[in-house]
Structure 1
Amino acid sequence: ILLNEDKEQVIVSKNLTFISDNSTVTDLAQEVNNKIDDFTKLLLENMPQVMRSELNDLHAQTESNKSNIELKANQTDLNNLQADVSRQGIAISTKAEQSDLLITNQNVTTAQETAKQAESEAKNAMAKATEA
């Protein structure tokens, strides 16, 4: 491990010599994971304080950004839901107005038919009265 605090550099060199004839893939994978963990620990232990502080700041900023993204995603979902509810409300209102108009038209048609029938009956009654 070469540590140069003035330049805030850490150089780590480690040989991975663990392969043997009777190793399984799982054994090899576990050994690689162990070596990576060892490397990470060495790196963090020997990291200059400035870099460690920057890493912590970066981690905090990442968490903050993640929270902001989640909030924005939730706000977008809420906005989309509100827009859907509004569209459905307008559609329901339009259908209700169309239904009211249809009922009114049917009532007018029925009233016109009743008036024509009454007029026809009145004409028949007048014709009979004239004959008599």
Structure 2
Amino acid sequence: VTKVVEFPVKAPAGIVKADVTAIQQLENYLMFMKHYVDHNCSITVHVRDNEWEEVEDWVWDHWDDIVALSFLSYDDSFYELLPYEEISQEEYEKRKAAMRPFNPSILTKYEYEETDLDIGDSECVNGVCPVR
């Protein structure tokens, strides 16, 4: 049984998925890889039907600069349970109105205090060393 919790998220003003090509997404990923991360940042590239060949060429040309990429067809109408689903303003307002108010105190049910454990002295006893 799959259970899904969904909540509407309004896109910020500015550029949205429809405004960006697959190559622009890949170039943005490459910029983050070169200038902002030490290992890898993740990206799911949304590719239109007419972009696949160009995307394949880009991947081959940048093979040594990329770590991992995932690709989805831009036409995402056949995917179930996407993390972000484009909806109309009217649908957004409808879903937002149907949400129950958020009660932050419910989080205490799932949060636990950190506990310091006494690991004893720093010696390894019987071949077992404390994890620090």
TM-score, normalised by the number of residues in structure 1: 0.23
Determine which structure has the larger helix proportion and give its number: 1
What is the TM-score when the length of structure 2 is the normalising length? Answer: 0.23
Q: Who wins on radius of gyration, i.e. which is larger?
A: 1
Taking CA–CA contacts closer than 8 Å with sequence separation of 6 or more, which of the two structures ends up with the larger relative contact order? Answer: 2
